[in-house]
């Protein structure tokens, strides 16, 4: 479980989100929506332990995240952001293998059989098995996005955080990734995912968290979010409820 208790997040001296209280249950897929600059990425980074709250606390399975060592945190939480940079000479398999460093000591690292299996399973999950020996520098933006997701999966953590995992992806691949996230949450993994596409969030997530006005406006079921009034508060524009076109496999609520 992820639990935020009265969390206030700041950028410099400027409050970004104030007094956020929410909980994400094991096996739940929660999408985070909000305008640019609303705090989606900062919230994910705070849960991952990379941004210290100005006030409040974030608990992972009843343990205050601030008390976790980097190694303990890396074995509990994987953060997929897609903004890292790597040397041009790295192979796709090498990039995904970085996710396994949380399970060993850097000074005595060597790939064990379970590491090899985890990397292979992660590449298979995002359908990049045939890309394993490709140079990362030769991939398209969408293919790189799938590599980042595979890296997070290879980390084999109970909590998976993703920042816009469907950006740069075409409709078919985005549907595959979102369906994969639903399957992972159904297997017990806790998934917290920032998205830009409202229809994707409504179609695939168990609940949706709306950020705006410097706070958590609501965290509710897709049916409630789809009514539109909460979305209007979040984005400042009116919404009309019409049947959304989603690829087969999307869960229209």
Between CA 152 and CA 91 the distance in angstroms is 16
Is residue 253 very low, low, confident or very high in pLDDT (cuts 50, 70, 90)?
low
Confidence (pLDDT) at 239: 87
Confidence (pLDDT) at 113: 85
CATH fold, domain 1-61+192-253, is Rossmann fold (3.40.50)
Average pLDDT of the segment spanning 204-230: 95
Looking at the predicted structure, is the pLDDT value of residue 86 above 60? no
Confidence (pLDDT) at 129: 95
Looking at the predicted structure, is the pLDDT value of residue 108 above 80? no
Average pLDDT of the segment spanning 17-36: 97
Looking at the predicted structure, is the pLDDT value of residue 36 above 70? yes
* Closest among 217, 244, 214 to 232, alpha carbons compared: 217
Looking at the predicted structure, is the pLDDT value of residue 81 above 90? no
Domain ranges of the chain: 1-61+192-253
Three-class DSSP labels, the chain: CEEEEEEEEEECCEEEEEEEEEEECCCCEEEEEECCCCCHHHHHHHHCCCCCCCEEEEEECCEEHHHCCHHHHHHHEEEECCCCCCCCCCEHHHHHHHHHHHHCCHHHCCCCHHHHHHHHHHHHHCCCHHHCCCEHHHCCHHHHHHHHHHHHHHCCCCEEEEECCCCCCCHHHHHHHHHHHHHHHHCCCEEEEECCCHHHHHHHCCEEEEEECCEEEEEECHHHHCCCHHHHHHHCCCCCCCCCCCCECECCC
Between 104 and 160, whose confidence is greater? 160
Between 5 and 109, whose confidence is greater? 5
Looking at the predicted structure, is the pLDDT value of residue 46 above 50? yes
Cα-Cα-Cα-Cα dihedral sign, residues 1, 206, 39, 225:
negative
Lowest mean pLDDT among 48-52, 110-114, 207-211: 110-114
Looking at the predicted structure, is the pLDDT value of residue 107 above 50? no
Average pLDDT of the segment spanning 179-205: 94
Tokens, residue 163: 């920042």
Is residue 248 very low, low, confident or very high in pLDDT (cuts 50, 70, 90)?
low
Confidence (pTM): 0.89
Give the pLDDT confidence of 8-23 residue by residue, as tens digits: 999 988 999 999 999 9
How far, in Å, are 10, 66, 124 from residue 70 at the CA level?
A: 22, 10, 28
Average pLDDT, the chain: 89
Identify the burial level of 235 via C-beta atoms within 10 angstroms of its C-beta, where 0-12 means exposed, 13-18 middle and 19 or more buried. Answer: middle
- Cβ-Cβ contacts under 8 Å for 33 (sequence gap 6 or more): 40, 194, 195, 196, 198, 201, 208, 209, 210, 211, 231, 234
Give the pLDDT confidence of 128-152 residue by residue, as tens digits: 999 999 999 898 888 888 899 999 9
């Amino acid at each position: 479980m992820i639990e935020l208790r009265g969390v206030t997040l700041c950028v410099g001296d400027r409050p970004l989100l104030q007094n956020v209280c929410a909980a994400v249950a094991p096996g739940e897929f929660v999408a985070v929506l909000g305008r640019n600059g609303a705090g989606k990425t900062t919230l994910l980074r705070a849960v991952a332990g990379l941004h210290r709250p100005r006030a409040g606390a974030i608990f992972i399975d009843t343990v205050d995240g601030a008390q976790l060592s980097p190694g303990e945190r890396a074995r509990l939480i994987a953060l997929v952001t897609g903004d890292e940079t790597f040397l041009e000479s790295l192979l796709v398999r090498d990039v995904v293998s970085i996710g396994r460093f949380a399970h060993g000591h850097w000074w005595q690292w060597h790939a064990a059989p379970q590491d090899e299996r985890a990397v292979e399973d992660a590449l298979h999950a995002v359908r990049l098995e045939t890309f394993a020996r490709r140079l990362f520098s030769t991939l398209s933006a969408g293919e790189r996005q799938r590599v980042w997701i595979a890296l997070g999966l290879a980390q084999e953590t109970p909590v998976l955080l993703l920042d816009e995992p469907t950006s740069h992806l075409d409709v078919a691949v985005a549907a595959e990734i979102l369906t994969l996230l639903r399957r992972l949450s159904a297997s017990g993994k806790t998934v917290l995912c920032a998205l830009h596409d409202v229809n994707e969030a409504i179609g695939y997530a168990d609940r949706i968290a709306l950020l705006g006005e410097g706070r958590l406006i609501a965290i509710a079921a897709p049916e409630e979010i789809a009514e539109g009034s909460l979305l209007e508060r979040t984005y400042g524009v009116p919404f009309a409820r019409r049947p959304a076109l989603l690829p087969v496999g999307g869960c229209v609520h």
